[in-house]
């Protein structure tokens, strides 16, 4: 985690432009709270801090990161949904908070469609398909054949029921027509330990977490889950090269409370694009498998809706529901 933090933080602090002078009444005039619905130190927190530092360097106002974790990101997201729509409370949203959770939880303290103003994604985060070193396969085609020959005999792990890693593997099994036993853990750290020591056979989870272990030879990487290969591992194929159409990508983006004035939304979207296309940030993100993915607010709204449809179907197929 410290290495990842250093890589991302090291890109910040150079090439920052002087703060703009603001006229009276022009937004922003006071500190902005950026709610991160997860604990400090994770990838969501680090990406939020990248945005904050570049934004406040240009506008001369503080962007205060407020970590409000719990309930799979729902506590922090609810805080954003209920905040005043004045541009001074923003929220980081993810594939979990804004695509998976609406289908996973029987009841949420907000309406994901009505209570938020999508601004722009920050980054796309690939997952990595890996096996422990004892599984006798080295490619995705070999894995598919091995799973079909041993249907129901292998297992896979995840960081918990309903996580993107869990649901990505459910989607993978459905695509190739096999079953495996699911072993959920209390977080990715426990899952990765089980993968390294051979307790679980397979996992699909965040590349930022698993890639250092794969690079060190502690687990065997087979493919990334993005539509195209990633710069951090250009020789690693995509799952989709074998399993046509397969894609399971994490993402993080910026949301505001519904009814936030349109000029503020458009300004923020332009800033996301400016910040995350800075060459030094692109390079830093690529080193941990990330990729900037700025969109317009309308494009992001359509993308988030399509993600809810896709992941909602996966949740339903998996038969998971949290009351």
The per-residue pLDDT for range 210-262, each reduced to its tens digit, is: 888 999 999 999 999 998 898 889 999 999 999 999 999 889 999 999 999 99
Say yes or no: 160 and 231 in one domain: yes
**248-303 residue pLDDT tens:** 988 999 999 999 999 999 999 999 999 999 999 998 888 777 889 999 999 999 99
User: Mean pLDDT across the chain, nearest whole number?
Assistant: 90
Q: Which of 216, 241, 266 is at the close of a domain?
A: 241
Query: Do residue 157 and residue 12 come from a single domain?
Result: no
The secondary element (H helix, E strand) that includes residue 196 is: helix 188-197
Q: pLDDT confidence of 311, banded at 50, 70, 90?
A: very high
Q: Please determine, for residue 178, whether its predicted confidence score (pLDDT) is greater than 60.
A: yes
Task: Give the rounded percent of residues in the chain with a pLDDT score beyond 70.
Answer: 92
Kindly state whether residues 202 and 103 are assigned to the same domain: no
Residues 107 and 148 in one domain: no
313 Cβ contact list (under 8 Å, min separation 6) = none
Say if residue 2's pLDDT is above 50: no
Q: What pLDDT is recorded for position 168?
A: 93
Instruction: Tell me: pLDDT of 309 over 80.
Output: yes
Residue 24 confidence (pLDDT) above 70: no
Give me the domain span that covers residue 299: 2-125+250-318
Residue 323 lies in a domain: no
Confidence band, pLDDT 50/70/90 cuts, at residue 40: confident
Query: How far apart, in whole angstroms, are the C-alpha atoms of residue 148 and residue 36?
Result: 41
Based on the domain organization, do 130 and 117 belong to the same domain? no
In contact, 297 and 119? CB cutoff 8 Å: yes
199, 216, 241 — which closes off a domain? 241
> In this structure, are 54 and 31 located in the same domain?
yes
Residue 31 pLDDT greater than 70, yes or no: yes
What total number of domains does the chain contain?
2
Q: 193 in helix, strand or coil? A: helix
**Is the CA virtual torsion 94, 254, 91, 60 positive or negative?**
positive
């Amino acid at each position: 985690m410290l290495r990842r933090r250093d890589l991302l933080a090291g890109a910040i602090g150079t090439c920052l432009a002087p703060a703009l002078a603001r006229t009276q009444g022009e937004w922003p005039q006071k500190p902005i709270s950026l709610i991160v619905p997860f604990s400090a130190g994770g990838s969501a927190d680090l990406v939020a801090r990248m945005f904050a530092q570049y934004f406040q360097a240009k506008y001369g106002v503080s962007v205060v990161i407020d970590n409000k974790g719990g309930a799979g990101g729902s506590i922090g997201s609810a805080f954003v949904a209920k905040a005043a729509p004045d541009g001074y409370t923003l929220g980081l949203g993810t594939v979990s908070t804004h695509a998976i959770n609406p289908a996973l939880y029987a009841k949420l303290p907000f309406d994901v469609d009505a209570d938020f103003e999508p601004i722009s994604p920050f980054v796309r985060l690939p997952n990595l398909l890996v096996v422990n070193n004892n599984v006798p396969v080295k490619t995705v085609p070999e894995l598919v054949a091995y799973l079909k020959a041993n249907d129901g005999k292998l297992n896979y792990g995840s960081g918990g029921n309903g996580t993107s890693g869990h649901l990505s593997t459910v989607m993978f099994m459905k695509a190739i027509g096999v079953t495996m036993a699911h072993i959920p853990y209390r977080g990715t750290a426990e899952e990765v330990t089980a993968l390294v020591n051979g307790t679980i056979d397979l996992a699909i989870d965040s590349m930022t977490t698993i890639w250092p272990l794969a690079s060190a030879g502690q687990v065997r990487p087979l493919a990334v889950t993005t539509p195209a290969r990633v710069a951090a591992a250009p020789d690693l194929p995509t799952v989709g090269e074998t399993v046509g159409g397969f894609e399971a990508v994490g993402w993080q983006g910026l949301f505001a409370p519904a009814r936030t004035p349109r000029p503020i939304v458009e300004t923020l979207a332009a800033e996301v694009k400016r910040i995350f296309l800075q060459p030094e940030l692109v390079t830093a993100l690529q080193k941990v498998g990330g990729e900037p993915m700025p969109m317009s607010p309308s494009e992001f709204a359509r993308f988030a809706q399509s993600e809810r449809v896709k992941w909602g179907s996966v949740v339903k197929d998996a038969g998971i529901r949290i009351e």
